[in-house]
Amino acid sequence: MSNKIQAIRGMNDLLPDQSPLWQYFEGQVRALMRHYGYAEIRTPIVEQTALFKRSIGEVTDIVEKEMYTFDDRNGDSLTLRPENTASCVRAAMQHGLLHNQTQRLWYQGPMFRHERPQKGRYRQFHQVGVETFGLDGPDIDAEVILLSARLWKQLGLDQHVTLEINSLGSTEARAAYRDKLVAYFEQHHELLDEDSRRRLTSNPLRILDSKNPDMAEMLGNAPQLIDHLDPDSRKHFDGLTALLKAAGIEYVINPRLVRGLDYYSRTVFEWTTTTLGSQGTVCAGGRYDGLVEQLGGKSVPAVGFAMGIERLILMLDTLKLVPDNALTQLDAYLLPMSEATEPAALLLAERLRDALPALSLQLHCGGGSFKSRIKKADRSGARLALLIGEDELARDSVAIKFLREDREQLDIAQASLTETLNALLSGSSA
């Protein structure tokens, strides 16, 4: 067979040279969520198609053209999740998590959208997100924004992102605004592209979301929803901006920010960056008070966000913001210098792991000539090589060779090896 099987276009392998960077990011996220008292939820990556159609909305890019939908062997229509809010709501309802209680949840995992693959845009990509339920005030909106802002700070990204916010008001306010907007668009019908003409009747607000540069000026002059808010939504929005100001979070009000999904109401926000070219949104979220009811539950207020991990990793990589010690993996490479010392080396490796739970130690396996063994140790990336030759074996000792420092080799008795390694590896250098 001459054609080797390749990964599906737009779906990436995460190779060992990149995984430390992801683990660093994931570690920061996990610590952050704990810091704020958010609990992790994991849901299946496949759901019934109807869940996404009903929540995201039929007239959206995702549902119209991006979902991986298929019939399973029973003929049921299933879909690889394109996002995770709907799944969280489904799970929370199904397991009674929304009954007279509040929830602060977070998730992380792969999402699937059939889009044109390019830098920062893939067909399998990963999101971290939070979803909160049962809280309707601007305080929780502010909290989820502050939580995301703290992540930028932790990662050193805070100087490279901008917060944009807007309010979509209540359903009624949006309906009244919609009529004004349609009238405006009808006056400028000749400037609308094909997609927008179609949306004029089905979902005119979505036209504001268009990235077509030919429509930018006309869209810039369109009536703004933020000027037509109902009094409660206005109060909510003013409450949010007051909290953001008090917390020292800078923001820009973007009246054209409407978000691509149907289920949002009131607060919407996005964190954007200019470091990634056109794929500039790294985190997007908002309030979706109507979604639980829309999916058949009792009305429960909710607010959350999702961030694209690939885009954030790209930023960390481009801006060289990853601390060195987050990427160095192996502390030591244990090298039996000949076949005769291999069994002793294997047992020593186990003893060292017993004694030093944090130690990252790789044992040389697979034999080889003396020269090739030394080469493997050098290539391992470890800080130290622990060498056991027949001489060391006879004397119950180990030679420690510094692979990345210009420093003389040590000869250490096995009995004090734990202590020496501890000293050498604690702190940046011993």
The binding site for ligand ATP (CB under 6 A) comprises 83, 113, 115, 120-122, 125, 127, 260, 279, 281-284, 306-308, 310-311
Name the helix (H) or strand (E) containing 52. helix 49-56
Residue nearest to ligand ATP (CB): 308
User: With respect to ligand ATP, which residue has the nearer C-beta, 280 or 297?
Assistant: 280
The identity of residue 65, as a single letter, is K
User: With respect to ligand ATP, which residue has the nearer C-beta, 165 or 307?
Assistant: 307
Residues whose CB is less than 8 angstroms from the CB of residue 306 and which lie 6 or more positions away in sequence, other chains included: 83, 84, 85, 127, 128, 129, 283, 284, 285
Cα distances (angstroms) measured from residue 396 to each of 123, 218, 244, 385, 388: 55, 81, 63, 17, 9
- Determine how many CB atoms are found less than 10 A away from the CB of residue 141: 28
User: With respect to ligand ATP, which residue has the nearer C-beta, 83 or 342?
Assistant: 83
- CB of 279 vs ligand ATP, minimal distance in Å: 6
User: Position of tokens 């502050």?
Assistant: 146
Q: Is 122 strand, coil or helix?
A: coil
Name the helix (H) or strand (E) containing 386. strand 384-388
- CB of 31 vs ligand ATP, minimal distance in Å: 21
- CB of 146 vs ligand ATP, minimal distance in Å: 18
- CB of 64 vs ligand ATP, minimal distance in Å: 12
Q: 137, 27 in Cβ contact below 8 A?
A: no
User: With respect to ligand ATP, which residue has the nearer C-beta, 138 or 308?
Assistant: 308
Cα distances (angstroms) measured from residue 4 to each of 7, 117, 122, 194: 10, 21, 22, 40
User: With respect to ligand ATP, which residue has the nearer C-beta, 260 or 381?
Assistant: 260
User: With respect to ligand ATP, which residue has the nearer C-beta, 10 or 381?
Assistant: 10
- Determine how many CB atoms are found less than 10 A away from the CB of residue 296: 9
- CB of 211 vs ligand ATP, minimal distance in Å: 8
Backbone torsion region of residue 57, taken as left when φ is above 0, otherwise alpha when ψ lies between -120 and 50, otherwise beta: left
- CB of 109 vs ligand ATP, minimal distance in Å: 12
User: With respect to ligand ATP, which residue has the nearer C-beta, 68 or 402?
Assistant: 68
Cα distances (angstroms) measured from residue 33 to each of 68, 263, 315, 430: 30, 25, 21, 34
User: With respect to ligand ATP, which residue has the nearer C-beta, 38 or 305?
Assistant: 305
- CB of 399 vs ligand ATP, minimal distance in Å: 48
User: Position of tokens 């290539």?
Assistant: 379
- CB of 155 vs ligand ATP, minimal distance in Å: 14
- CB of 85 vs ligand ATP, minimal distance in Å: 9
φ and ψ at residue 374, rounded to 5 degrees: -65, -40
User: With respect to ligand ATP, which residue has the nearer C-beta, 291 or 334?
Assistant: 291
Q: 140, 209 in Cβ contact below 8 A?
A: no
